[in-house]
Structure 1
Amino acid sequence: MKRTIFLAVCVFVAGQLFAQSDKDHRFKVVKNLEVFNTIYKHLDLLYVDTLDADEVVGTAINAMLSSLDPYTEYYPEENTSDLKEMFTGKFAGIGSLVRFNHKLKNVVIEEPYENMPAAEAGLRRGDIILSINDSSMAGKDVAYVSSRLRGDAGTTIKVKVKRPATGKTIQFKVTRRTVQNPPVPFYGMQGSETGYIQLNSFNENCSKDVRRAFIELKNQGMKSLVLDLRGNGGGSEMEAVRLVNMFVPKGKLVVSNRGKQKRANHDYLTTVEPLDSVMPLVVLVNGGSASSSEIVSGALQDLDRAVILGTRTYGKGLVQMPVDLPYNGLLKLTTNKYYIPSGRCIQAVNYNRGRGGKSEQIPDSLTNIFYTANGREVRDGGGITPDVVIRPDSLANITYYLSVLDTTEVMHDYILDYVNTHPKIAPAATFDLTDAEYEQFKQRVLASNFTYDRESEKYLKDLIKLAQFEGYYEDAKEEFENLKRKLNHNVEKDLDFNKEQIKQMLTADIVSDYYFQRGTIENSLRHDKQLKEAIRLLQTPDEYGKLLMPEKK
C-alpha cells in the first residue's frame, strides 16, 4: 500500500514538473517572439535608414536556422524552385554545363548533355557565350549566365556564341525544356559475368532506371553486380527503400524514422518480392556517398546482403521534409533521424549541442557497437565503414592545377583543337591518347608558361620558418639547401612523372565530346582500382562469403 502511494506521489510530482517545464517553454516562446516583434517595430519606425523588410527579417530567419543544422533552410517564394529542383532533380534550361574560362574572362559551354536542347541546337564545347537574348554576357560569372540560360520549359532564347575553331560568331535559337540528369548515366558488363550500374542520385523514379538496367544486364549473362554509389549525395528516402527491395525479400525492415512527433515516426519495410535476393553484390561508396546512399549501403550491410567497398561515407543520418509557409514560401525542415536495420544511426555530427548551436564531430571512441543479421559488428556515428577499405589514387597537384586552376587554359585549348581535328575516335571503352599525342600536349604546356604551387615547396618553406623560430636552422642550413635544390620546380619532370594520370584526364574530357557522360564513365572505369578490386572479390566466392560472416574469436 505504501509503495502504491509512493509511486502515485512520484507520478503526480513528475506530472507537475513536466507541466511546469512545458509552461516555461511556452512562456519563453511567447516572450521572445514578442521581443523580436517589438524590436523590429522600433527599427522600422526609428532607424536612420529605410529598412528592406525581406532582407532584414530574412537575415534573422537564416541566423535562427543556422544555429540548428545545415539542412534546415528557408526558401522565400522567389527561391522555392531551388528546393523543388533539389527534391526532384529536375529544372528547365538548355541542358549543358558551363564554366568560366580564366584566359578569356568569359563563360563558355563546357559539356552539352546528350539528347538535350543545347546539343540538339548545335552548341559545342568551348563556344564562348557572348549574349543571351541580346543581353551581353561579357565578363559575367557562371551563376549569372546559368540563371539566364534557365527558364520556363517551352520558352525559346537566343544564344550568341563565338566558336574558337572558326572564329565565327553564331546565333542559336534554343527552346528550353525540363532537364534531369540521368540518375543512371552508365551501366554495362565488366567482363562476361559481372555487371556494373552507376547511380548518381536518388531522384524520382530512379529505382525504375536501376531495375531496367539490372534486368538488361541479367539478360546479358550477369552473375554478379557492382552497384556504384560513389559521389551520390542522396535524395528520396522512398527510392532508397525501393532500391534495397530489389535485392532483399519482402517484409524486411530497411529504415526507421524517429523524431519529436510520434505520429511522424515510420518504419519502412520492403513491400514486394525482390528481383534477385542471392546474386553476389558489391556496393562502392566514398565520402561523397550520403543520405539515401547510406540508407542503401547501410541496410544492405546490416542485412548481410552485400559487401560494401571503398572509403567511409559522409555520415548524414537526418531526414528533411518540405513545410509550406505563408506567402508561398517553403521550409526544408529536419524532422527525424533515421535508423537502419541493425538499429544504428550513422549521423556523424551532433548539431546544436549545448548553447550557441555548436556542432561536434562524433569521435570513433564514442560510437556504439551494433550487429548485422549474421552477427557481424558494425558501429553507429561517422557514416558507413566499408567491409573492404580501398582508397583511390589521389589527384596529383599538377593534374588539379591543369584541369581546374590553370589561367593559361592550355588543357582546355588542347582538347578543343584535338576534337576539331578528329571527326571521330575509337569507341569509348578503348579510346586512349597515344604517347606521341601526350608529348604534343606536354610541349604545349611547357610553351605556355604554365606554373603551379608545389605542395612540397610549401611544406619546406613552413619547415624552414619553424626551424628558424626554434633555432635549428643554422645547424641544418646545408641540408635544407640540398633539399631545396632537389625540390626545384620542374614542370617537365612533373609532367613526365604524372603522365598516366594526366593522360587519363585528357582522354576522359575528349571522350565526353563524342560519347557524352556515359562514354566518359565507360572510359574511366578501365583505370578504377576500386572497381577492379570489387570485380576480383566477386570472382572469389570464398573470400566474398567470409566477409559476410562474423570473425571467429
Structure 2
Amino acid sequence: MKKQTFISAVFLASVVIISAIMLGSRSAGAVWEKGNSITAKLEIFASVLETIQRRYVEERSLDELLEAAMEGVIARLDPHTSYLPPDNFQRWNKSFEGFSGLGISYVVLENYPMVTHILEGSRAREAGVQVGDFITHIGKTSIKGLTESDIQQLIRRQEQPLVRLTVMRHNVRQPQVVTLKRRHIKLKSIPVAFMLTRTTGYILMEKFTGETAEELDEALERLSRQGMQELILDLRDNGGGYLSAAFEVTNRFLPAGKMIVYTQGREPGSYSEYRSNGDYPWQHVPVTILINHGTASAAEIVAGALQDWDRALIVGSTSFGKGLVQSQYRFRDGSALLVTTAHYYTPLGRMIQRDYNNLTRDEYYYGAYDLAALSRREHDSNRQVFLTPNGRKVYGGGGITPDIRVHNKTAEIDPELTALFLAQDKFFIRFAAQVFLETPVLRQLPIRLLRKKIRISENQFQAFKKMVLAAGYPADAEFFRAHRDEIIFLLKREIAYLAGGEEGRIFASLERDTQLVQAINTMAIFNQYTRIDNNLTTALRNRAE
C-alpha cells in the first residue's frame, strides 16, 4: 500500500505537469498523441524513485532525488537555463528589486563596523552619518565583536521601523545617537555618472532593470548641463538584465525606425523586433562604449546595436557572448525556472551567443575569460563577417568584438595578490581606513584630485606589510617585493573609495585602467571625424598600437 501511495503521488505530480504543458501548448494535439508514451515513461520514473528510496544502501529523501532529477534535465539544456530554489530566487530578485535597509555599507574593523559608503538620498546621509564613523550600538545593544552577518541579523530583528544607532567619530569624544528609518533600498543600475574631462561625460551602468532608462535620462540631462559633448558608457562586467531596458537605453541614441534587436524562438510566431522611435535628444552625441569579458546579454544588445548602426565605437575586450532570451516561470513554493525561449540577434543579423556545444558548464563559463581561446576565436578566418552601413566589418559567432581591442592592466592582478585582497581579514580596507582617518584633508579634496594627492610612503608600505604578516597570512618578503606596485595601487584605490565613493575609485583606477584611458583618448580623435567609418577606426587602432 505504501509503495502504491508513493508512486501515485509522483505520478499525480507528473500528470499535473503534462496537463500544464498540454494546456499551454499551441500544438496540443501533437502532445496528446505522445501522451501515452510520456505517461509510461513517468510511471517508470516514479518506480525508479520509489525503488531507490526503499532499497538504496543509504537513505535518500524524495525531495533530494526529485531535485537531482530536475538538475539532470536542466544539465541537458543550454548553460543559462536554470532552476532556482526559493532562497536562491529571492536573492536573485533582490539584485533587481532592492531590499529593506538603512542605506549604509560597512566593514568590521577593530571589533566595530566602520561606515564605508552612504547611499545618496538615504536617511543616514540626511542624519549626518559620515564615512569613517564607527557604529557601537544598535538600540541599547553593544555590537562589539559581532560579525557583519550578526549585525545584519540584529538590524533585521528590530521590531520598529526606526533603528537607533550610536556612532563614534574619529577624534571626537562624544558619541552621536542617530535614528534611522528602514526603508526600501533600490539598488541603482547607474551608481555613478560624472564628467571625466571638461567635455567627456562618463556613465557606469552595472545592470538593466525597470528603472535603468529613467536613471539614464537623469544622468544624461545632468551631464549635459555640466558641458558634456561626448559620452563614455561603461558596460564592463554588466551581466545584463531586462531586454526591455536594453531596448530603452539603445533607443536614446538612435533616430526613429532603426532596428535595435530582434528575437526568434522555436514556436511559430515567436519572432519579435524592436525599433527606435527617435524621441530623444541624444542622437548626435558621440558615444564610446566600454566592454569586457563580463559584458553579457542585455549589455551586448546595446553594444551590438550601436556598433551595427555605426553609432558608437566599442573599446575593450570581447564580450561574454550570451545571446539567449530567458523567460521566468515562478512556482508556488517560491522557486522559479529561468528557461531559454529565444535567441536574440543584432540589427545586422549577428547571433551573439557563444557556442556551448560539447562543453561542461564550467568549461563554458571559464571560456569567456580564457585569453588564449578568445584570441583563437577573434582570429578565426571562418567567423561570420557583416558590413555596417558605413562599410565597417563587424563579427558574429560569439560576443561583441570591440573596434579597438585593449587589454586592461587592472585585470592583470596576480591570483596570489587577489587572494590577499579578498582575505577575510580585509587588510586593504583596514589599512586604507587608517590612512583615511588620519588624513582629514582627503574629505575636502575635489574627487578628481584624489589620485594625485593620495600617496603611500615607504613607512606606510612597511606598516601594511607588518600588519599582514602579524596576522599570520602566508606571505614572505619576496611576495611584497614582487607585488609592491600593485599593492600600492590597490591601497590608493581603497583610500580614494572611502574619500570619494565609486567616483573616487574610478579616478584612482586611471593609473592602470588602460581601457578607460583608451576611451578618453578615443574621444579626442573621434571629434575630428564626421562619422564612424573605416578611416576613423584605422586611425584609432594605429594610435592604440
TM-score norm. by structure 2 comes to: 0.75
* One-letter code aligned to 2:387: Y
Partner residue of 1:370?
Answer: 386
- Output the CA distance in 2 between the equivalents of 1:273 and 1:435: 44
Please say if 1:75 is aligned against 2:84. yes
Once the two structures are superposed, residues 305-352 of structure 1 have per-residue CA deviations (whole angstroms, 9 ceiling, x without a partner) of 11101111111111111113344542221111110111011111325x
Contact 1:199 1:232 in 2 (8 A): yes
Partner residue of 2:458?
Answer: 439
Please say if 1:210 is aligned against 2:211. no
Partner residue of 2:434?
Answer: 417
Partner residue of 1:513?
Answer: 498
- Output the CA distance in 2 between the equivalents of 1:168 and 1:390: 52
Deviation at 1:298, TM superposition (A): 0.6
Contact 2:102 2:181 in 1 (8 A): yes
Partner residue of 1:93?
Answer: 101
Contact 1:165 1:417 in 2 (8 A): no
Unaligned runs of 5+ in 2: 1-26, 368-372, 539-545
Contact 1:150 1:176 in 2 (8 A): no
- Output the CA distance in 1 between the equivalents of 2:85 and 2:64: 11
Contact 2:429 2:494 in 1 (8 A): no
Cα pair distance change 1:146/1:380, threshold 3 Å: farther
Deviation at 1:111, TM superposition (A): 4.1
- Output the CA distance in 2 between the equivalents of 1:321 and 1:92: 26
Partner residue of 1:193?
Answer: 199
Deviation at 1:133, TM superposition (A): 10
Match of 2:524 among 539, 542, 545: 539
Contact 1:438 1:503 in 2 (8 A): no
Match of 1:404 among 422, 429, 445: 422
Deviation at 1:284, TM superposition (A): 1.0
- Output the CA distance in 2 between the equivalents of 1:260 and 1:299: 23
Please say if 1:259 is aligned against 2:272. no
- Output the CA distance in 2 between the equivalents of 1:153 and 1:295: 44
- Report which stretch shifted further, 356-365 or 62-71: 356-365
Cα pair distance change 1:413/1:242, threshold 3 Å: closer
Please say if 1:388 is aligned against 2:373. no
Contact 2:235 2:290 in 1 (8 A): yes
CA-atom RMSD, angstroms? 4.4
Match of 1:284 among 283, 290, 294: 290
* One-letter code aligned to 2:436: V
Deviation at 1:368, TM superposition (A): 1.8
- Output the CA distance in 2 between the equivalents of 1:20 and 1:189: 60
Partner residue of 1:295?
Answer: 301
Partner residue of 2:315?
Answer: 309
% identical equivalent positions = 26
Contact 2:254 2:278 in 1 (8 A): no
Once the two structures are superposed, residues 500-528 of structure 1 have per-residue CA deviations (whole angstroms, 9 ceiling, x without a partner) of x4444323322333433333334444764
* One-letter code aligned to 1:188: F
Please say if 1:427 is aligned against 2:439. no
Partner residue of 1:467?
Answer: none
Cα pair distance change 1:349/1:160, threshold 3 Å: farther
TM-score norm. by structure 1 comes to: 0.74
* One-letter code aligned to 1:441: Q
- Output the CA distance in 2 between the equivalents of 1:24 and 1:182: 50
Deviation at 1:79, TM superposition (A): 4.7
Cα pair distance change 1:357/1:277, threshold 3 Å: closer
Q: How does 1:12-161 map to 2 (within 5 A)?
A: 29-43=38-52, 52-86=61-95, 88-97=96-105, 111-116=117-122, 122=129, 155=161
Partner residue of 2:543?
Answer: none
Cα pair distance change 1:356/1:115, threshold 3 Å: closer
SS, match of residue 267 in structure 1: strand
Unaligned runs of 5+ in 1: 1-17, 455-487
Once the two structures are superposed, residues 399-456 of structure 1 have per-residue CA deviations (whole angstroms, 9 ceiling, x without a partner) of 535532385x5433322222333344212211247687422321203433639889xx
Please say if 1:184 is aligned against 2:190. yes
Once the two structures are superposed, residues 138-190 of structure 1 have per-residue CA deviations (whole angstroms, 9 ceiling, x without a partner) of 78685x86677668998466889999999999998764322223222222223
- Output the CA distance in 2 between the equivalents of 1:41 and 1:19: 30
Contact 1:226 1:283 in 2 (8 A): yes
Please say if 1:548 is aligned against 2:533. yes
- Output the CA distance in 1 between the equivalents of 2:417 and 2:117: 20
- Output the CA distance in 2 between the equivalents of 1:345 and 1:132: 55
Contact 2:79 2:356 in 1 (8 A): no
Contact 1:92 1:151 in 2 (8 A): no
Deviation at 1:216, TM superposition (A): 2.4
Contact 1:347 1:383 in 2 (8 A): yes
How many residues end up aligned between the 2 structures? 493
Contact 1:313 1:384 in 2 (8 A): yes
Contact 1:258 1:266 in 2 (8 A): yes
Deviation at 1:490, TM superposition (A): 3.0
- Report which stretch shifted further, 391-400 or 60-69: 391-400
Deviation at 1:301, TM superposition (A): 0.4
SS, match of residue 409 in structure 2: coil
SS, match of residue 448 in structure 1: helix
- Output the CA distance in 1 between the equivalents of 2:92 and 2:419: 33
